[in-house]
Amino acid sequence: EAGVAQSPRYKIIEKRQSVAFWCNPISGHATLYWYQQILGQGPKLLIQFQNNGVVDDSQLPKDRFSAERLKGVDSTLKIQPAKLEDSAVYLCASRTILRGMNTEAFFGQGTRLTVV
């Protein structure tokens, strides 16, 4: 079974530039998450999708961050314009439901963003 794929692995941009991250979840996983993990901290949930609908985006800074999951499969997360404090690892995860219960989540390797 292929894992969660993310690209790029690393990105360096200047502040005020824009950047986009891509995630391909495990086939058949309806739930997809984007997390921001700042060095030394735990992952912070940015947005959660169920198929192509947004379940929770309460912690997404909507003035600069946007995300979509067209057709309920791949997802992209965009930052425009980037700030220095956006420097972090952006993690994508997916999971499914079996017999009405949540299962474990699978994470991609993440994209390390550095804003200079």
Partner 1 sequence: SQQGEEDPQALSIQEGENATMNCSYKTSINNLQWYRQNSGRGLVHLILIRSNEREKHSGRLRVTLDTSKKSSSLLITASRAADTASYFCATDTYNNNDMRFGAGTRLTVKP
Query: Helix or strand or coil: residue 86?
Result: helix
Least Cα distance to 34 among 87, 89, 83 occurs for: 89
CA distance 62 to 116: 21
Q: Is 44 in the site for partner 1 (CB under 8 A)?
A: yes
Q: Is 85 in the site for partner 1 (CB under 8 A)?
A: no
Cβ atoms 94, 36 nearer than 8 A: no
Cβ at position 47, least distance to partner 1 in Å:
10
Q: Is 13 in the site for partner 1 (CB under 8 A)?
A: no
Nearer residue to partner 1 within complex by CB, 36 or 79? 36
The only residue of 60, 77, 91, 115 in contact with partner 1, by rule CB under 8 A: 91
Query: Helix or strand or coil: residue 29?
Result: coil
Please count the residues of this chain forming the interface with partner 1, following the rule CB under 8 A: 28
Task: State the virtual CA torsion across 21, 24, 30, 34 in degrees, nearest 10.
Answer: -30
The region of 12-20, 21-29, 51-59, 67-75 touching partner 1 under the rule CB under 8 A is: 51-59
Query: Which residues of the shown chain bind partner 1 in the complex (CB under 8 A)?
Result: 4, 31, 33, 35, 41-45, 48, 55-56, 59, 91, 93, 95, 97, 101-110, 112
